[in-house]
Amino acid sequence: MPPKVRLSSGTRLLVGPMVRGGLGPLSSVLVLLALPLASASFMREQDFAVWAIFNTVVTLATTIDFGGAAYVMAALPSAKSPASVIYRSARHSAYGSLTVGAIAAAVWPLYVMSGGAGAWGVAEGLAAIAAITVAAALRSLIIVVANAALVVRKNALRDTLLIGHSVAVCGIGVGLAAYFASAWALPTAWLASMTVFSAVGFVAVRQIAAVHRFAPGGDDMEASSRGWASKRTATAVLRGLLMNADRWILGSVAGASVLATYEVIWRIASAPRVVATSITTALIGTSAAVKSNGHKALLGLLNKASNITAWAVAIGVIGSAIVYALSVHLGLAAGASATLWMVLVTASAADGLTSPLTTLSLGLGRPGFDLPYLSLTCGSAGLLWVLAIALAAPSLVAYGTSAVWIAGSALYVLRGPRRVTYS
């Protein structure tokens, strides 16, 4: 039986692991968020609108990972062969990227027919999607290895992988956007950077295997990889739709100008969500260790993590407000509505507050815990999207999606804690 973990030391002791575990991914995502903001000024609205569509493919292909990134953290401590767990997790992640690429390739011709792609043709768009798909598959290894590094406490290696590949993508992407002023900057930057850093990832697997220490007591985690993958894939698909389908609909219903402005504001408003999801990664391992202490211990851990996350979300909102004001001043968000930013940032904050609950459920071996909430939220948003297309009403997409997300997040946060800690 694993040793019991005492929680009486208070919330402050939890801040350190959460912040240390989140610095790498937070820095990585913030750098990637800067990429569209820095590149927008170099491109025409139509080119940036296509960039926004390609960016949704990047987002989906790098997040729908068949559960590999979370699975490696849960399975690695009890793995007798760490390299096999890492490569198995990376394969799960890569399959997700390839699936997204195939779906995007199937949808792209329809998007071209709608007129949203402007001068971009079918063949050129499919080539760009193929480059993004390969890049996302290569990135799968990087993310899985980075999470494995967190498990074995090689934080420097983890931060190097996460921040390094993001800086490379951002630097190359902005440089290409400035020189060519084309949406091709995005897939080219991703493919070049991931080719280099995936090679670094292969080398890092050996370093992790060398310091890994087998901890008996969790062999069932390795045997459950398929069930884990299917549930995390389902949740990733639903979240991916909620976070990206609005761009495709806006592009076809409202045109390039509206989509380009919406993309900039959405990225700025996503700061609270980014901060929250980044700092809660460490809870996977912590909740697994506390599991044997029972309901009260888990609920205490969740409450402490939720308090820390709430402060982080507040900081994210403040940061988003500052960046929004600067963007309006510099003309990057010209014509953007302050009301739209407020609605989007509220939805982002609400989603961020769900992060501790979802992450804790992963550590408890419940990868599908958030599926009912996401299904209800995505289903409600889908009805709004159909209505928006039928009525040619872009405001239903922009405001309705956020309203549904806020309501769904509130329901999840209110009802979820007791369900997950008593199970």
Residue 122 carries which DSSP code?
A: H
214-233 pLDDT per residue, tens: 554 444 444 455 666 677 77
381-414 pLDDT per residue, tens: 999 999 988 888 888 888 988 999 999 999 999 8
Nearest CA-CA partner of 312 in 268, 348, 287, 267: 348
Q: Is residue 2 part of a domain?
A: no
> What mean pLDDT is reported for the chain?
80
14-53 pLDDT per residue, tens: 665 666 665 666 666 667 777 877 787 788 878 888 888 8
Q: Is residue 122 part of a domain?
A: yes
Q: What are the distances in angstroms from CA 189 to CA 17, 31, 170, 186, 192?
A: 32, 14, 8, 5, 5
| CB-neighbour burial class of residue 80 (10 A; exposed 0-12, middle 13-18, buried 19+) | exposed
Q: Is residue 220 part of a domain?
A: yes
Total count of residues recorded for the chain: 423
**Residue 284: its pLDDT value, please?**
66
Q: Are 36 and 51 in contact (CB under 8 A)?
A: yes
Q: Give this prediction's pTM.
A: 0.70
Q: Are 116 and 53 in contact (CB under 8 A)?
A: yes
Could you give the CA distance from residue 393 to residue 400 in angstroms, rounded to a whole number?
11
Please state the domain count of the chain.
1
Q: Is residue 4 part of a domain?
A: no
Q: Is residue 5 part of a domain?
A: no
Nearest CA-CA partner of 132 in 195, 204, 187: 187
Longest dimension (CA), the chain: 63
Q: Is residue 6 part of a domain?
A: no
126-163 pLDDT per residue, tens: 999 999 999 999 998 898 888 888 777 787 888 888 88
Q: Is residue 7 part of a domain?
A: no
Could you give the CA distance from residue 223 to residue 42 in angstroms, rounded to a whole number?
50
Q: Which two tokens stand for residue 313?
A: 């979300």
The H or E element containing residue 162 is helix 155-180
Q: Is residue 359 part of a domain?
A: yes
**Residue 286: its pLDDT value, please?**
66
Is residue 422 predicted with pLDDT exceeding 60? no
Residue range(s) defining the domain that contains residue 102: 12-422
∠ CA 254-259-262, nearest 5°, is 120
Single-letter residue type at 339 = T
